[in-house]
Amino acid sequence: MKILMVGSGGREHALIKKLKESEKATKIYCAPGNGGIAKDAEIVNISAMDIDNMVKFAKDNAIDLVFVAPDDPLAAGMVDAMEKAGVRAFGPNANAAIIEASKVFSKNLMKKYNIPTAKYEVFDDPQKAISYVESENTVPVVVKADGLALGKGVIIAQTIEEAKDAIKSIMEDKQFGDSGNNIVIEEFLTGPEVSVLAFTDGKVVKPMVSSKDHKRAYDNDEGLNTGGMGTISPNPYYTDEIAKTCYDTIFLPTIKAMEKEGRPFKGCLYFGLMITPKGPKVIEYNARFGDPEAQVVLPRLKTDLVDICEAIIDEKLADIDIQWYDGATACVVMASGGYPLAYKKGLEITGLNEKGGVENAIVYHAGTKLEDNKFLTNGGRVLGVTAKGATLDEALEKAYSAVKTISFEGAHYRTDIGKTK
Ligand code: AMP
Ligand code: GLY
């Protein structure tokens, strides 16, 4: 099979390395890819949002399976366009990807179908939103832009003043553009966070092994929110009992709700959960694999990923038994100095071998480019250094020793992955 991966980050690199393990995958392309992905797939110079050219490439090259990994092209209807052109594609249609693309949609869905989530109100008028936070007078309070905002559209306001500033900057100053035309104001929840990715064909849902992201830039969960600075799998807070509750009250009801709404979700649905004192609740849905969750979940997948993708496209997920390796994985993200704010690009990375890897760990490239056989930094998150172990401690120890052999000017990574709540 000829496979085309759409996207360019560490998640896409992890997906490609897993797909390569399949005997069915004879050729893998990636558009637009990155410097490390170039060692595992043939790079195609088409932007992830260029739907017309992506479809044309898939048709011209008789691609058997297109895997759309990032949220933007999913929300923009790339899977719909592929299907219309007769190309088999993995990922939700746009009418289902809205579960991530609009927080107003997902919150209303949860309310309608009694899926546990934080209490909320929706506003399209900043003055009304401000009056609401003043009258509720409860802090912390969470202010969220409706649309996609690169993981930055969520503000946890510690004071009423901060909440008012957040409302103004999202709705009036349009900090996140049209994503902020509507906002959700919601109750602040507490408890450990868990990420659960799940395969679903729109009818059946099969959760993957759990994971935990570390979203803040610095140790002790300090600094700004990022796309994710590191992950572990399994998540120590996700017990079998909690997993069962999540399946019964969240996972299956969500799939059924989407089906009832005429928006069957096919692909990977990401449940961002918080284990609150009142039980697990949904913080957010994503319509795709998480990044860097994919980097710790996929290395534990035993079953052929190509077979799973095909079963999902054919709506036969019930027929496939998905198996996982025991043990644990840890991923430490090496980021550019300054990320998630301004950072330099084009700095040489040393310590990587010719294939872009190191001994005893898997190096997933997120923001790199290859020039004159040298790997250079080319993004905020640069590398996801991942290791497997019999235990979480062993996986962490191996990942951190690999990190210490790699360097670039200003490189920043958290030293407490797997250690915080
Ligand atoms: P989101 O983009 O919706 O995942 O939000 C980003 C992060 O903000 C989450 O991972 C949580 O850490 C935090 N967060 C979002 N909503 C809430 C909430 N209602 N209560 C507490 N923390 C939240
Ligand atoms: N790591 C969080 C996300 O992919 O949205």
91 C-alpha to center of ligand 2: Å? 16
Cβ neighbours for 103, distance < 8 A, ≥ 6 positions apart? 144, 145, 146, 147, 184, 284
Residue of 116, 156, 115 whose CA lies nearest to 278: 116
Pocket test for ligand 1, best of 102, 106, 141, 154 (most atoms within 8 A of CB): 154
pTM of this prediction exceeds 0.85: yes
272 and 207 inside one domain:
yes
130 and 227 inside one domain:
no
Q: Do the domain assignments include residue 420?
A: no
Final residue in a domain of this structure, among 319, 348, 379: 319
For atom 3 of ligand 2, the residue with the nearest CA is 290
Q: Work out the average pLDDT over 175-196.
A: 95
Q: How confident is the model at residue 149 (pLDDT cuts 50, 70, 90)?
A: confident
- Kindly list the distances between the CA atom of residue 109 and the CA atoms of 11, 98, 199, 250, in Å, as whole numbers in the listed order: 28, 11, 20, 12
pLDDT at res. 420: 82
User: In whole angstroms, what is the distance from residue 145 CA to residue 108 CA?
Assistant: 15
Final residue in a domain of this structure, among 93, 113, 146: 93
244 C-alpha to center of ligand 1: Å? 23
Ligand 2 nearest atom to the CA of residue 286, by list position: 5
291 and 200 inside one domain:
yes
79 and 171 inside one domain:
no
* Ligand located closest to 276 CA: 1
Q: Work out the average pLDDT over 157-175.
A: 95
The count of structural domains within the chain is 4
254 and 285 inside one domain:
yes
204 and 283 inside one domain:
yes
User: In whole angstroms, what is the distance from residue 47 CA to residue 54 CA?
Assistant: 8
198 and 176 inside one domain:
no
Q: Do the domain assignments include residue 223?
A: yes
204 and 294 inside one domain:
yes
Q: Do the domain assignments include residue 15?
A: yes
199 and 309 inside one domain:
yes
Does 151 score more than 80 pLDDT? no
Pocket test for ligand 2, best of 103, 195, 197 (most atoms within 8 A of CB): 195
What secondary structure does DSSP assign to 71-122, as a single string?
A: HHHHHTTHHHHHHHTT--EES--HHHHHHHH-HHHHHHHHHHTT--B--EEE
Ligand 2 site, residue 284, Cβ cutoff 6 A: no
Q: How confident is the model at residue 383 (pLDDT cuts 50, 70, 90)?
A: very high
User: In whole angstroms, what is the distance from residue 188 CA to residue 205 CA?
Assistant: 28
* Ligand located closest to 71 CA: 2
Q: How confident is the model at residue 150 (pLDDT cuts 50, 70, 90)?
A: confident
Q: What's the per-residue H, E or C state across 199-239?
A: EEECCCEEECCCEEECCEEEHHHEEEECCCCEEEECCCCCC
200 and 307 inside one domain:
yes
* CATH code of the domain containing 42: 3.40.50.20
Q: Work out the average pLDDT over 17-25.
A: 98
Q: Work out the average pLDDT over 125-144.
A: 96
Q: How confident is the model at residue 244 (pLDDT cuts 50, 70, 90)?
A: very high
Neighbouring C-beta atoms of residue 190, cutoff 10 Å = 10
204 and 309 inside one domain:
yes
218 C-alpha to center of ligand 2: Å? 17
pLDDT at res. 148: 86
Query: What is the per-residue burial (b if ≥16 Cβ within 10 Å, else e) of 248-261?
Result: ebbbebbbebbeeb
Each residue's pLDDT tens digit, 281-340: 999 999 999 999 999 999 999 999 999 999 999 999 999 999 999 999 999 999 999 999
Q: Do the domain assignments include residue 50?
A: yes
Q: How confident is the model at residue 352 (pLDDT cuts 50, 70, 90)?
A: very high
151 is in which domain, residue-wise?
A: 125-181
User: In whole angstroms, what is the distance from residue 269 CA to residue 195 CA?
Assistant: 11
Three-class DSSP category at 269: strand
> What single letter denotes the amino acid at residue 299?
P
Does 421 score more than 80 pLDDT? no
- Asked if residue 369 lies in contact with residue 354, where contact means CB atoms within 8 angstroms, the answer is no
Q: For the chain, give the mean pLDDT.
A: 97
User: In whole angstroms, what is the distance from residue 48 CA to residue 33 CA?
Assistant: 9
130 and 223 inside one domain:
no
